[in-house]
């Protein structure tokens, strides 16, 4: 299947990848959405096959990690109160899910998720290679090029997105009160 005819856009998958406990992971709630199954169905399938999901493949978020993640995202797509925190699946855990969820969609989605992880790794590698080459060039040249290297470093930084403040802003016209005095 080519990337142009993918079942799920790469950007949508990439938005679901978080770094938690030093691992790139996708949460069970997002995976269930991608696989088009209910989160409880996904978790049940995992719990029926615990030997396939060691701790380096999958772990459950602590309540604190979950709350921190919700506050970073600002808008919670996880609805109301939850009894349990979601599970986080590493790349290997996601690959193992295709053997547990036996459906054609699970296989197709897994292929797309693996492509997203590879794409992310390529971006990170090229970024670190660029930073290393810039450091090498900087060490070769003297202070007069420092400004140029600083400008290049600034361009390498991802842009800071300024978001409008959350909430309502009521824009009313001020009432015009007459300053005339009443006549008797």
For the stretch 136-174, pLDDT in tens is 766 666 665 666 667 777 777 766 777 777 777 777 776
- Tens-digit pLDDT profile for residues 67-78: 887 777 654 455
Would you say how long the chain is, in residues? 184
**Residue 40: partners with Cβ closer than 8 Å, 6 or more residues away:** none
**pTM for the predicted model, two decimal places:** 0.56
Residue whose entry in the numeric block shows the structure tokens 């670190």 = 128
Q: In whole angstroms, give the CA distance from residue 68 to residue 72.
A: 6
The domain spans of the chain are 3-123, 124-156
Q: Which CATH architecture has domain 3-123?
A: Roll (3.10)
> In angstroms, rounded to a whole number, what is the distance separating the alpha carbons of residues 7 and 55?
29
- High-pLDDT (> 70) share of the chain, %: 73
């Amino acid at each position: 299947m080519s990337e142009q005819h993918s079942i799920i856009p790469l950007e949508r998958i990439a938005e679901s990848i978080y770094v938690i406990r030093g691992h790139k992971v996708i949460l069970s709630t997002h995976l269930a959405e991608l696989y088009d199954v209910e989160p409880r169905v996904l978790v049940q399938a995992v719990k029926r096959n615990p030997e396939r999901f060691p701790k380096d493949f999958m772990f459950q978020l602590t309540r604190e990690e979950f709350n921190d993640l919700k506050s970073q995202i600002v808008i919670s797509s996880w609805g109301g109160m939850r009894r349990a925190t979601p599970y986080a699946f590493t790349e290997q855990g996601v690959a193992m899910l295709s053997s547990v969820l036996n459906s054609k969609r699970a296989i197709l989605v897994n292929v797309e998720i693996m492509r997203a992880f590879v794409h992310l790794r390529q971006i990170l590698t090229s970024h670190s290679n660029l930073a290393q080459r810039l450091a090498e060039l900087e060490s070769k040249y003297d202070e007069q090029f420092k400004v140029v290297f600083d400008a290049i470093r600034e361009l390498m930084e991802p842009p800071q997105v300024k978001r409008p403040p959350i909430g309502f802003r009521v824009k009313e016209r001020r009432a015009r009160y007459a300053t005339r005095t009443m006549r008797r």
